[in-house]
Structure 1
């Protein structure tokens, strides 16, 4: 598996991964009805470093990295990760996480923060915790889960 900068030609593959995740509405605070172009504009937003994980030419995952805040908070980055449904359980998310943790200091970041981790996304929470992230905040009932109703969102943080 290689992880590389995303290019224009990757947009269709990225949409193929984003669409079911965004439509499900259970892990990202994104309108489940977001149109394709708006979703891609969000993912490939200005100042974001967008990468893809691929194996044998097949895109298996994507992530972005962006500074979390401007000014005095610009040394902390934020990332979003999505793995293709067919590639789940193959270590793609862990590989993208490891890549992001390696890349962030090279871009001048001193910490990484996930602003809004849906608490019911237990697989992601466990992955981030194994990588040294701590839950530093809990937002009670901040996310309306489509099946479970109002659930907590977590703020997770790690120094690099």
Structure 2
């Protein structure tokens, strides 16, 4: 159990997402997708399409973070690539707008690191972190990811125009 840093806040717990959690997860996923600033997903993605992308089947896993009965965030994790690349994991995160800045993404990331370590992965690679998503980039750097490259202009940001996508990596040993 991880405690939300807000004074008097209910404890934050992370658990495996179930199919019946999708309506609560969609309330987090939909505004992120519609905004179009942090994921390469089409902004007109339907709930069914998003559910098929987000709710991972083994060996991958999707989790949610909740406190006081409210779902505050979610993460998807698993192998980055199949076959000869399946020893390196990947993950994706979304946090409800009202829960941002409260440590939810950090708690999810720490959970993801521990899961990858326990599952025997050697590292975690993020394939497409939008460079203008500075809060996420700052968080990932603080947790040990390093930017190993940036693909210039690979993301069409509605607010910033063409911006780079960072490829980030961290070992699970650190």
**Could you say which TM-score interval applies, normalised by the shorter chain?**
over 0.9
Q: CA RMSD in A?
A: 0.8
- Is 1:126 the counterpart of 2:138? The answer is yes
Task: Report the TM-score when normalising by structure 2.
Answer: 0.90
Equivalent residue number for residue 137 of structure 1: 149
Offset, 1:147: 1.4
Q: How many residues align?
A: 160
Q: TM-score, normalising length from structure 1?
A: 0.97
How far is the alpha carbon of 1:46 from its aligned partner?
3.2
What does residue 152 of structure 1 align with?
164
Query: Which secondary structure state, in structure 2, belongs to the residue aligned with residue 53 of structure 1?
Result: strand
Q: CA deviation at 1:58?
A: 1.1
> Any unmatched runs of 5+ in structure 2?
1-11
Structure 1 residue runs of 4 or more that deviate by more than 2 Å after TM superposition: 45-48
Q: In the alignment, does 2:74 pair up with 1:68?
A: no
Question: 1: distance between equivalents of 2:104 and 2:57?
Answer: 25
Contact kept? 2:56, 2:76, Cα under 8 Å = no
Say which is worse superposed, 20-29 or 65-74, in terms of deviation.
65-74
